[in-house]
Amino acid sequence: MTLLRLIERNLAQRRLSSLLTILSVALGTMMVCAILVARKEVDEKYLRQAEGFELVVGPTGSGLELVLNSIYHVEQSPGLLPYSVLGQLQAQKRYVRAAVPYALGDSFKGYRVVASTEDLFSQYFPVPPGDGPEKMLAGRPFSCPGEDLEEALDNLRNRKAEEAHGKGHHHANEAVLGWEVAKKLGLKIGTKIEPSHNVEGAKKHSHDDTWEVVGIFKRTGTPIDRVVFINLDSFFRIPDHAGGLIPGTGEPGLSSILVFPRGGFAKIRLMSTLRNRSDLQVAEVATQIAKLLKIVGGVREFFLVMAWLVVLTGVIGITVAIYNTMNDRRREIAIMRSLGARRSTVMGVVVGEAFALGLCGSLVGLLFGHVLLAFAQEHVVELSGIHLDAMRVLPEELIAIITVSLAASLAGLLPAWKAYRTDVAENLTPLS
Amino acid sequence: MSIELSNLRKEWEHPSGVRRTVIDLPRFLAQQGDRICLVGHSGSGKTTLLNIIAGIVRPTAGSVIIGGQDLFALGESQRDFFRAQNIGYVFQTFNLLQSLTAMENVMIAASFAGMGLKEARTQGTELLSRVGLSHQNDTKPAKMSVGEQQRVAIARALINKPQIVLADEPTANLDQENGTEVLELLKETTVEANSILLLVTHDLEVQNRFDDVRILAEISHDAASTD
C-alpha cells in the first residue's frame, strides 16, 4: 500500500509531465475506442436495420446507392422508375409476396417524406413488426385507396394536376410519422404538417397542401423512426410533382420498390428475370450491404492502425517522461535500497508508475472516446442513418485498455532497468 | 545478535587504476546491547564500514557475521531483506523520501520488511509519538525542521525493531540542542530495545557521551594506509 502511495506521490510530484503523458495516451485510446465502437455499431446496425428487406428495384445506376436511399434513407434518389413496374411486380404473385413503392422528394423539418401505399402496413414489411394497427404506437395506418391513386395518376399522366388539386379537397392527405419524428417535433395525432419540396427541405411547395398526422409508428431503432410517410395518391396530387413524370414516357415515376419475394427459388427466379431488363435494376440488400461494409471496413482498419500508432506514441512518451527523471531519482532509489528494498521492488515502483500512467491514460481515453461518439451522434445519423449508442462499452475496448496498460508497463522497463542498476552507496551519501 | 568482522578489507579503485585501501580491520566485535561510538577522521572509511555492515557494500576481503549469519554468503535479495528486518540506518543527511509524509516515510521501511499495513501504522504512530512528532504524522519533510527530519529518520530506523542501529554522523547537520536531543533519543531507544548502536562520528562532543569509543585508526591494521 505504501508503495502504491509512493507511486501516486511520485506521479503527483511531476504533475504537469504526468498529465501531459496521460493526455497523449488518452488521445490515442480515445480514437481506438471511438473507432471500435463505431465499427461495431455500424456493422451491427446496418445489418440489423436491413433485416427482413430482400430486394430493392429501382432505376438503373448504383445498386448500393439504391439500397442506401431506400433502406437507410440517406443519399439522393438515383432517379425514377416507371410506376408500371409496381403493377408488373404485384402481378407476379407466384414470386412476389408484397411490393411496397417508395416515392421520395419532400422533407419535413429535416426529416424525409416518403410516399407509399397501404402495403407499407402489411405483415411483410418488416419494421415495425406486425400487421396494420399492430405496427402503430398511436393512431392508425394512412389510407391510400386504389381509386384515388388511379385518379391522381391519370391526372398526372394527362397533366391535369392543377385541376386535380383544385377539385381534390375531398381526398385525404394523411401522414404516419416515424417514432423519432413525432417525439422530437412533439407531433400528435390530428396535427397538420406541411412538408417542403426536395429532401433538403429548401423549397416550399407553391401551394398550401397540408397532411394530417393519422398515426405514429412504434419505435424500431431503424431509419424508419426518422421518416414521415404519406399516402402515395396525395404525393401524386401535388402539382409540383408533375415533374415526377419520366421524360420521354409520360409515365409517373417511383423512386424505388421494396420487393418481398416468396420463399424457395422465387427470389432467384425473380432476380434473374429482372436482371434481364435494361430499364431497371434489382439490388439484393444483403449483397449491397456486404459490399458497403467491405469498402468502409478497409478505411476503418486504416484509421484503427493510425489510432494505435498514436497510442504507441503516447506509450513511448511514458518511457521518455520517466527515463528523464531517473537521474534526479537516483538518491530516492538509493534510500529505498538502504532501507531494505530489493532491486526488483525498485523496478516495480518504476514499472508501476508507467502502468499507472498507461491505465489512467487509457481510462481517460475510453471516456473521451464515448464523449466523442456522443458529440458525433447527430452527424453520423445524417451521414449514415445509423444512431450510434455512445454509452455502449465493448469487450474489445476493455482489451484495448489492458493492452495499453501492459504496453505502458513494458515502456517502463527501460527506466526501471536504470533504477535497477543504481549503485546504492554511490548515490546515498558521499564517501567519508 | 552480534556483529563480528574478521580481516575486513575494502579497496576502492580510482579511475586512474590505482587501488586504495580504505578499510583494513583485523577484528571488530559488537555484542547485543553495546552502544559504540566509532571515531575516525574524514576519509577514514567510517561510512564505508557502516555500508559493509549494512550489506550495501561488499568488502574486498574478510567476513561479516551478523547474528551468526555470514552476510555476504546471502544472495543480494536475501541480504536486502535481512537488512530490512535487522538493521536500522540513520544518515547524516536524513535521507527521507520527500514525496511522502512523516508517517509514510516510517511505514515504507516496514513494508520492505514484510510488515502488514495495519501493524506498520500502529508501530509508526507509536514511534512518531516516541520521538515527539505525533502532531506531524501527515507533514512532508520539506515542511519540517532539520531536527524533526532526523527524528523521523530515527523512527523509520526503529520501526522493524532492528537488533542493530547504524548511525552515520547523525548530528552533523543539527545545531547543538537538536544534536543532543537526537543523540539521547538514539541511545534511549536502543537501550529500550537492547539493540546494538554503532554510531560513527568525528565530533568530540558526541564521543564524550559514549562509554565505548573506538578509534578506527587504532583498530585498523595499518593506520597509515587508510589516510
- Preceding omega of A128 cis (within 30 degrees of 0): yes
Residue A211 CA from chain centroid, whole number: 30
Torsion of CA A423, A425, A428, B2, to 10 degrees: 130
Query: Using one digit for the tens of pLDDT, what is the confidence trace for B96-132?
Result: 988 889 999 999 999 988 888 899 999 899 889 888 8
Q: Among B40, B57, B108, select the one facing A339 at the smallest CB separation.
A: B108
Torsion of CA B81, B82, B86, B91, to 10 degrees: -70
B51 in A contact zone (CB under 8 Å) = yes
d(CA B63, CA B52): 10
How does pLDDT run along chain A (432 residues), one tens digit per residue?
A: 577 888 888 888 888 999 999 999 999 999 999 999 988 888 888 888 888 899 999 998 889 999 999 998 887 777 889 999 999 999 998 899 999 999 987 889 989 999 999 999 999 999 899 998 999 999 999 999 888 888 888 888 776 544 544 454 467 899 999 999 999 999 999 999 988 876 555 555 555 678 999 999 999 888 899 999 999 998 888 876 555 677 777 788 899 999 999 987 888 999 999 999 888 999 999 999 888 888 888 888 898 999 999 999 999 999 998 998 888 888 889 999 988 899 989 999 999 999 999 999 999 999 999 999 999 988 887 776 677 888 899 999 999 999 999 999 999 999 999 888 888 888 875 433
Distance from CA of B88 to the nearest CA of A (A): 8
Domain segments of chain B as ranges: 3-226
Mutation site for B-interface testing, chosen from A338, A353, A427 by largest number of B Cβ within 10 Å = A338
ipTM > 0.90?
no
Is the CA virtual torsion B155, B157, B159, B164 positive or negative?
negative
Amino acid at B133: L
Task: Please report the number of interchain residue pairs, chain A to chain B, with beta-carbon separation below 8 angstroms.
Answer: 106
Give the nearest chain A residue to B91 (CA atoms).
Answer: A429
Q: Among A5, A338, A432, select the one facing B56 at the smallest CB separation.
A: A338
Which of these CATH numbers, 3.30.1330.60, 3.40.50.300, 3.30.450.40, 3.40.50.620, describes B3-226?
Answer: 3.40.50.300
Predicted local distance difference test score (pLDDT) of residue B144: 92
Distance from CA of B211 to the nearest CA of A (A): 24
Is the CA virtual torsion A72, A76, A78, A82 positive or negative?
positive
How many C-beta atoms lie closer than 10 Å to residue A163's C-beta?
12
Domain segments of chain A as ranges: 2-46+298-428, 60-279
Predicted local distance difference test score (pLDDT) of residue A430: 40
Distance from CA of B199 to the nearest CA of A (A): 14
SS percent in chain B: helix, strand, coil, step 5: 40, 25, 35
Distance from CA of B184 to the nearest CA of A (A): 23
CB contact under 8 A, B76 and A343: yes
Is the pTM of the predicted complex or chain greater than 0.80? no
| Chain A residues lying within 8 Å of B95, measured CB to CB | 331, 335, 338, 428-429
Confidence category of residue B37, pLDDT binned at 50, 70, 90: very high
Distance from CA of A12 to the nearest CA of B (A): 9
d(CA B198, CA B169): 11
Mutation site for A-interface testing, chosen from B108, B119, B202, B226 by largest number of A Cβ within 10 Å = B108
Query: Using one digit for the tens of pLDDT, what is the confidence trace for B47-105?
Result: 889 999 999 899 999 999 998 889 899 988 899 999 999 999 988 888 898 888 999 99
Q: Among B47, B57, B107, select the one facing A432 at the smallest CB separation.
A: B47
Name the β-bridge partners of B12.
B20
